[in-house]
Amino acid sequence: MALLMLPAWRGPALGPLLRPLCSWADGLLHSMAQPGTWDRFYTQQDTAGTPSHFNWFFDYMAISGLLLPALRGCGPPEPNPNPTRVLEVGCGTSDLSLGLYRDSPHPVHISCVDVSPVAIKSLHRLLQEVPPPRHPLSQLHLHVADATDLEGGGFGDGSFHLVLDKGTCDSLLRCAQGPSQARRLVAECLRVLCPGGSLLQFSDEDPDARVPFLEQAGAPGVTVQEVGHLGGMCYYVYTLCRPALETPTTVALN
């Protein structure tokens, strides 16, 4: 395992902020890769007709102190005014990307994708309520797309500085036909990263299982950091960095 790349956690104690899987969500565990499962799930969340965020594990505020520095760390170097390009795979109705869009002091262009049109429709309604972003050039776009086939969704090689996955790889890994789909998800996330970019996976899976899986899926270097504990469960962030291109100078120096 390589050295940790993320800044040390300096946010609030995560205990009260982390959200364990509810018993009704446990029922999802065996059907997470089935078409329609997530549409039914988000339809149930939206029965009152007023959309609200559903956050797997924890919400944006719980990890904003980790995400905002990571966002800055992998974006274009200062004083480049170009936006940092971010992709969230399997966004559901989480407030993660909306929080980053709202709070980033630097321009961000965020694309959120989810296979569930119901989730994307709800998130679109929630986006209408978000105050203007802190940086006037920031943008956020929502797409119904299969994150295991981002190419089919029109996302080209090397398009993003940062890819975020909170619970999506976990959900694919937890069902019978999942592991092959999870490998495709990781491969696609790495393909769309630009050199020097990072994929962050937020997960409750133990490093003993997740690190070998990620390495077998082709991840060039995996680091792991604990995000917090709740109810005896530990939550982690796995960081996969796409190596920066070597310049002729650095090659010569090495």
Instruction: Catalog residues that contact ligand SAM under the rule CB under 6 A.
Output: 38, 54-56, 89-92, 94, 113-116, 119, 146-148, 166-168, 171
| CA–CA separation, 170 and 192 (whole Å) | 20
Would you say 38 or 238 has its CB closer to ligand SAM? 38
Would you say 101 or 107 has its CB closer to ligand SAM? 101
Beginning with the edge strand found earlier in the chain, give each strand of the sheet holding 139-144 in spatial order.
Answer: 139-144, 108-114, 84-89, 160-166, 193-203, 233-241, 222-230
What is the closest distance, in whole angstroms, from the C-beta atom of residue 190 to ligand SAM in the complex? 15
Would you say 71 or 147 has its CB closer to ligand SAM? 147
Would you say 65 or 153 has its CB closer to ligand SAM? 153
What is the closest distance, in whole angstroms, from the C-beta atom of residue 59 to ligand SAM in the complex? 8
What is the closest distance, in whole angstroms, from the C-beta atom of residue 40 to ligand SAM in the complex? 10
Is residue 197 within 8 Å of 163, Cβ to Cβ?
yes
With 0-12 / 13-18 / 19 or more C-beta atoms within 10 angstroms meaning exposed / middle / buried, residue 248 is: exposed
What is the closest distance, in whole angstroms, from the C-beta atom of residue 170 to ligand SAM in the complex? 6
Sequence-ordered list of residues with C-beta below 8 angstroms from that of 82, at least 6 positions apart, any chain? 76, 107
Would you say 107 or 114 has its CB closer to ligand SAM? 114
Would you say 138 or 171 has its CB closer to ligand SAM? 171
Give the CB-nearest residue to ligand SAM. 90
| CA–CA separation, 216 and 95 (whole Å) | 31
* 214-217, long-range: CB < 8 A, 24+ apart: 214/186, 214/238, 214/240, 216/183, 217/182, 217/183, 217/186, 217/187
One-letter amino acid at 248 equals P
| Residue whose tokens read 């592991």 | 179
What is the closest distance, in whole angstroms, from the C-beta atom of residue 49 to ligand SAM in the complex? 20
What is the closest distance, in whole angstroms, from the C-beta atom of residue 99 to ligand SAM in the complex? 12
